[in-house]
Chain A
Amino acid sequence: MAWKDDWRRVRAIARKDLTTELRAKAGFNGVASLAVTILILLGLALGPDGEALRNAAVGAVWLATLFSGVLAFNRSFQVELESGALEPLLLYPGPRWTIFAGKLLGNLVFVSLMVAVVMIVGIVLYGITIPDRWPTLLGVTALGVVGLVVLGTFYASMASRSRAREVLLPLLLFPMLVPVLLAATTASKALLGADLMHESGAWIRLLIGYDIVFLIATFIAFEHVIEA
């Protein structure tokens, strides 16, 4: 059954990526530490006034996520390039989208764990009180993470194989993520407050639309960009 084989490949790649990341010395711990460090530095730069910090919290969390996310995305392809494993990977039978889906899944788990850490640290450092509508807040965050990981994984598949990957990935990725950043931060801020104008709904719809559009687009385009 072709479906089952493909799904098996997707799972195998995700499992392989997560295992290598968790075992690698500078893996999850390194990336999460960077995110927390950014959060701390932003706190120092924007504080110490409690009010200012509370207002900046959402932005700080998302910036820390974006900057450390870039590291995570490059690493997910680095593991193939370091050992020359990309060639054998491309030689296995089966459709290419399984490679993208596997990497996507691995990155989703990785970045979600990282965001969880960042949010907890952010709540503590920036003096956030957990709002009533926290499930919706989590939903908004999840939608934002999906958008981030879909485009981050896709662009990293190219940038990590080019000459200036540290510069190229953020340069390509960040302008693309402007809608995600605006939607996630504005909706989150509204939900942390009372969301009197019910604006979070519109932003959530934007995020869903964005995620769907780019999920489809990246899956279609991956074939074209993965070959040497």
Chain B
Amino acid sequence: MQLGSSRTEAGPDRPAPTSGSVAGHVITDARVFFRDINRWEGKYPFMYVDTRGFVTTGIGNKLGSPQEAIELPWRHATTGLPATPAEVRSAFQKVLADCADFQSRHPDGKKAAGGPWYADKTDLVLSSSKVDELAYSRIDGFRKQLRELFPGFDRYPVPAQRALFDMVYTLGKKGLANKFPTVVAACRDGHFEIAAKYCHRKAQANEHREGDARNVATKNLFDEAANLTAAVRSLTREVRL
């Protein structure tokens, strides 16, 4: 049985890019994860340089090279006309140059500019649907990593899946496995209440965020998963009696 089935949470108005069934259970709709990362990570249709110095677009979608950028359907925000490969390459190089210029003027810790700073640095944007498509593609990748780390991932309560998805997004698979062994072991054993206790991430963006909201949200999801698991166990006992 799929606890807290995602079908109703996914929303009725859009097609589910990734859903289906595996081995008799329903796979959580990717839109559930999409909503979560969109809430925390935000969405920029233009190119910007992230805190790690990578040209990025959409919802944290890294563009490793000009060629990767050229492969996307950029258009001019002002005219709506498609951008040529040369224009895309030029925009890619411009945001890097703008970032370098910013850093040269700010050699201290204030080394990066926020996403909105890049909004008018180039004229090229991606359509909202393309940004979403890129995000869904990454969601599939993260889910694959989670299945490798948690063989029973698709049978976990949806709140636990959402919490783990957020953790693997911010920590990477290796970071989750190596830095949060208690959480990993607890989830594998179905003890989501333990995961709730040890899931706090000390990432500075979390801690400065008002009310430590992202960490609180993750903890609440694990707590919800623990409650669901306890309810199902209790129900199972009652049925047996």
Q: Does A associate with B in a complex?
A: no
Q: Which residues of A contact B (CB under 8 A)?
A: none
